[in-house]
Amino acid sequence: MNEFANLLSAFVKEKGVKIQPFARYCGYDRANMYKILKGQRNLPGREIVEKAVKYMHLLPSEEEKLWEAYEISAQGSDNYYRRKEVQKFFTEPILSSNVNITALTEGEPAKFGILNNESIPLRGGYEIDAALFRLIGEESRNKDGHLRLMIQPESNSLSSILSVHGNYACNTRIDHIVCLSSNPENVYRKKNYNLDCLRCVLPLYNYNYDYNTWYYYSKIPVQEKKFGLFPYMVLSSKYACVLTADMQKGYITAKPEILRICEEIFEECLEESKPMIRRLTDLDEQFEVTGKILKNKDQVQSFQMTPCLTPVLTEQIYEKYLKKELPGREKLIQTLYTYGEEIKRSDIQYVTSLEGIKRFLKTGIISEWPPELYDPLEMDDRIQLIKDLIFSDNGINIRILKKTVGNFDAEIYLCVSREYGILKFIVPEKQMQLHLVLEETGLLFSFFDFCENLSTEQIFSSSEEIESFLENWQLSEKVLF
């Protein structure tokens, strides 16, 4: 039996539902209803589920469980939970970290401040956190600091310690090796493990670190805790700290010969690892990576809640709104125009939201552009661009969500193929945009699959429905086309 049949049968039994009238209400005969309850028929249509919910007078929580069971049965368990995790990725804050190291200061415990050519055993989370706090704090203030981490990113204490020191760091280089699941399409404990790793490391790109992530594959859970002696290590220029997998035992040492051995081991592992994320620092790099994505023969997915307007921007728009005092303005206009023409020739499926369209119509802000490059668009141009994007016969493949996914003030933008991907984040605290390149194939698959398989319940099914909504909005805002 599938999950839906199991739960539906349980509700029927729990609520004492008579099969004959229940089947008749749902449009089935008795025999076919029994087959549905035993999972011997294909899933019924969504309208049948809605009828079942009404007939059995399900509570909101029960209805939610029934719909979840329906989706799990329709999509498959792994697909359902993976897509759910991707939606959670877009919905929950990413570039913030829950810092909880209030009990530690740089002087506690004192023995770590006087560590010289000796090794100190560590027992329990407090001693380990204190040692890491001291080690990372000293190295992050070193102008030529270099931290080497071989530890899983879901370690909350390590992430919090790095966050504490991150705003004061001197662009310290961090090389962080993590283990990803060798079966990335599957879920572990109803979570996509690789996506969870990505969610854990992303906040560290928001601090004053030269942060670099690397990965290798293994089975998840990573190691049996009792048999992997010291699988984790954190290295600075002065100290080596090695830890058990449960981060409850270990030792820290300043002995140069041990530090050298640990560095050699780390470098050997680094050679066998691959880049997980790469940060883009300028427009040229962004254009280069986007070009690689567009050259892919498969379809490209663009996911952002404010509409992507690049395929309908004209040279006249660039000329009119790019700030006059920009250095190299004419060259930038030509580059943007050429880039836009390449976008138009590409097979891209755009996903945006009605609230995002409304936001653009109200503000005139083009989300693809850094705000320092241009002035907000005038109303007439805003309206024309939305018309060109949605209603013109220009071959643009766009799907519009009824409900926004995520937060406009900290929006996440995605452009992904099966080989490359770019994630762009708005960082409101720093008033900046952060561009990251994804290269790990399992993560690319998760994002691409999510965009490709958005539920028909989430999107508007016809341009007429969209047009009707916009007409009503125009009337309410007293804006006329």
pLDDT digits (tens, 9 = 90+) for 298-325: 789 999 999 999 999 999 999 999 999 9
pLDDT tier at 109 (50, 70, 90 boundaries)? very low
CA 201 to chain centre: 11
Residue 104 has pLDDT above 70, yes or no: no
Query: Which of the pair, 64 or 369, is modelled with greater confidence?
Result: 64
Domain boundaries of the chain, sorted by first residue: 3-75, 110-276, 281-477
**19-28, 246-255, 386-395: which has the minimum mean pLDDT?**
386-395
Phi, psi (deg, nearest 5) at residue 433: -110, 140
Residue-averaged pLDDT of the chain: 85
pLDDT at 403: 86
Find residue 206's DSSP bridge partners. Answer: none
Helix (H, G, I), strand (E, B) or coil at 354: helix
Of 111-120, 330-339, 349-358, 440-449, the poorest mean pLDDT is in: 111-120
Nearest partner of 49 among 79, 78, 71, judged by Cα? 71
What is the CATH topology of the domain spanning 281-477? Endonuclease; Chain A (3.30.870)
Greatest alpha-carbon pair distance for the chain in Å reads 82
pLDDT band at 423 (very low <50, low <70, confident <90, very high): very high
- pLDDT tens profile 184-195: 555 666 678 888
Least reliable range by pLDDT among 97-106, 215-224, 248-257, 440-449: 97-106
Q: Which helix (H) or strand (E) holds 126?
A: helix 124-140
* pLDDT number for residue 285: 84
Nearest Cα neighbor of 462 from 385, 404, 399, 403 is 399
Contacting residues for 368 by C-beta, under 8 A, at least 6 apart: 308, 309, 310, 413
Judge contact between 197 and 180, C-beta under 8 A. Answer: yes
Res. 58 pLDDT band, cuts 50 70 90: very high
Query: How is residue 236 annotated by DSSP?
Result: -
Reported as type and span, the H/E element at residue 146 is strand 146-150
Between the CA of residue 49 and those of 45, 59, 81, what are the distances in Å? 7, 14, 21
Q: How many residues does the chain have?
A: 481
Do the two domains 3-75 and 110-276 of this chain adopt the same fold? Answer: no
Fold held by 3-75 = 434 Repressor (Amino-terminal Domain) (1.10.260)
The pLDDT score that the predictor gives to residue 114 is 47
Query: From residue 82, how far is each of 32, 188, 189 by CA, in Å?
Result: 32, 10, 11
Q: What's the CATH code, domain 110-276? A: 3.30.870.10
pLDDT of res. 110: 47
Tens digit of each residue's pLDDT (9 = 90 or more) over 329-360: 999 899 888 888 888 888 899 999 988 998 99
